[in-house]
Amino acid sequence: MFTTRFEAWVRRHAERLMSALARLPVTPNQVTVIGTALTFIAALLVAFGQLRWGGVVLAVGGTFDILDGALARSTRRSYPYGAFLDSTLDRYSEGAIYIGLAAYFSTIGGSLGRWLIIATAAALAGSFLVSYVRARAQSLGFTCETGVFARPERVVVTVAGLLFGTAFGGIVLYGVVFLLAVVTNFTALQRIREVWLQGRAQRLAREREAKEAQVVKGGQPAKP
């Protein structure tokens, strides 16, 4: 993931900032809710054609998505419900942005507008699948960390597309949407393959252990 190092750098500095501001009467969950509310505002701005302002507000909302975890770690108030709330509201946030994009593209009309709406729906499905595959895999005991476009990448690219949305006749934003439609689903397939490989390795290991146990139980077979 191309933003992994940048994200780690941002998180380190966010934790330092939150350590200095830990005495503020704000909980990590409140920061999460504020970030989600800002994302909803960004989605409304996008839906009504205010793309650049939508990009700016989305960037601020994405920053809150980092600060909530930093605050939880710095104040040692990290607990399962907070992680659950954060993940759930992240899905609402992504859905809101894609709905806002679809509403904006509906004003374009013609075949281009239809294709953009289809691409937006595909990007939404892919984004949800990326998160679902990881959550489901981890609940079953698998490791699922691969993928070229996780949430940080999607937010960065979406913000860039909105900020330059009206440039070159909208080609930048259109390209971003089609890119997201492809790479989000590709990332989901990458994670599905990763889990399949781990599952196959587990199955082969169990079969090997079963054969070894059968040999030990029945004794070594006689050589011809």
User: What does the pLDDT read at residue 8?
Assistant: 59
Residue 189 corresponds to which tokens in the numbers above? 């397939």
Largest Cα separation within the chain, whole Å, is: 82
How many domains does the chain fold into? 1
**Residue 206, domain member (yes or no):** yes
Q: Would the pTM count as exceeding 0.95?
A: no
At which residue do the structure tokens 């005495």 appear? 23
Residues spanned by the domain of 208: 4-216
**Residue 221, domain member (yes or no):** no
pLDDT tens per residue across span 55-92: 999 999 988 877 776 666 666 666 788 888 888 999 99
Residue 150 DSSP symbol: -
76 close to 28: Cβ distance less than 8 angstroms: no
User: What does the pLDDT read at residue 2?
Assistant: 47
**Residue 147, domain member (yes or no):** yes
Residue 35 corresponds to which tokens in the numbers above? 């970030």
Domain containing residue 72: CATH number: 1.20.120.1760
Residue 96 corresponds to which tokens in the numbers above? 């809101």
- Chain centroid to Cα 174, Å, comes to 20
Q: Which amino acid is at 210?
A: A
pLDDT tens per residue across span 89-125: 999 999 999 999 999 999 998 999 999 999 999 999 9
**Residue 185, domain member (yes or no):** yes
User: What does the pLDDT read at residue 166?
Assistant: 81
| Of 134, 103, 121, nearest in space to 198 by CA | 134
Positions marked catalytic:
90
Q: Which amino acid is at 50?
A: Q
**Residue 132, domain member (yes or no):** yes
